[in-house]
Amino acid sequence: MCLGDLPQAQAYLFDIDGTLLNSRDGVHYNAFRRALAEVYGIETKLDNIPVHGNTDVGIIRAILQHAGRTGEFESGLPRVLALMRSEVEKNIAGINAELCPSIRELIEELHALGKILGVASGNLESIGWAKISAAGLRPFFSLGSFCGERERRADIFRHGIEQTLALLSKKSSPSLTEKAASDAIVCIVGDTPADILAARANNVPVVAVATGIYSYDDLLSHNPDLCLHCCTDLFADRLH
């Protein structure tokens, strides 16, 4: 397998957690717990809550549903999100972001090829960028689409695709038609079945990498355009 096996695209949007990096710290997790305790009085370890492939807002909704308190979700949400952002900002030095295998090599190569790179994540924006910065990848990304105004992953991806097409249009000649811009290809890279489903909902190709909690076989069963054990697979031809 080699880099040429990637779906050919003008832009690539990457999920963060489990795709670009894995956080070896409790900064984001502790921000969830403190905000939930302060606003809703809910003490939780997030057990039995679908976290992987979910979004920050979706996780909060699921916690309140689990507690039988869905009626309080909307009224408390703005304060919870503000507290989460504040908590991460205060503890930003504690973020320990470990890059997934060969991610830096992939990002550097795509960037050198002139591809537009972005992130499309279920994290809140400031939290997502804090992780990216801690991992040393921030200079490579031209755009980001995050949770906050958008709760569903498919909507986050859609917003990222729209940003990408707008950027491609600006970088092209003034005579570029709207039809030509809309035909530009954007590829999603993620590590969960939710990423695959959200990409399919937006009719864009998707690469699945088994660097999160889901196995290669788990991801392959959802029929991504390309499935990798990790991004090192893309450089296998150079290792021989």
20 close to 105: Cβ distance less than 8 angstroms: no
pLDDT single digits (tens) 84-121? 999 999 999 999 999 999 999 999 999 999 999 999 99
Structural domains in the chain, CATH included, are 3-24+97-238 (3.40.50.1000), 27-94 (1.10.150)
β-strands 186-190, 206-209 pairing: parallel
Both tokens assigned to 99:
């890059």
pLDDT at 75 > cutoff 70: yes
Q: Count CB atoms within 10 A of the CB of residue 71.
A: 8
C-alpha span between 236 and 202 (Å, rounded): 30
Instruction: Write down the pLDDT at residue 45.
Output: 84
Instruction: Tell me the mean pLDDT in the region 74-89.
Output: 96
Confidence of residue 178 (pLDDT cuts 50, 70, 90): very low
pLDDT single digits (tens) 127-149? 999 999 999 999 999 999 999 98
Instruction: Write down the pLDDT at residue 240.
Output: 55
* CA quadruple 57, 59, 62, 67: dihedral, nearest 10: -100
Which of 63-67, 130-134, 169-173, 179-183 bottoms out in mean pLDDT, i.e. has the lowest?
Answer: 179-183
* CA quadruple 35, 80, 198, 44: dihedral, nearest 10: 30
Placement of tokens 């054990």 in the chain: 229
Which of 116-125, 126-135, 164-173 bottoms out in mean pLDDT, i.e. has the lowest?
Answer: 164-173
168 close to 10: Cβ distance less than 8 angstroms: yes
C-alpha span between 26 and 95 (Å, rounded): 8
pLDDT single digits (tens) 200-240? 999 999 999 999 999 999 999 999 999 999 999 999 887 65
- Name the β-bridge partners of 145: 120
Tell the burial category of 172 from Cβ atoms under 10 Å away from its Cβ (0-12, 13-18, 19+): middle
Helix, strand, coil in percent for the chain, rounding step 5: 50, 15, 35
Confidence of residue 180 (pLDDT cuts 50, 70, 90): very low
Instruction: Write down the pLDDT at residue 170.
Output: 82
Contacts of 152 (CB under 8 A, 6+ apart): 55, 58, 198
pLDDT at 24 > cutoff 60: yes
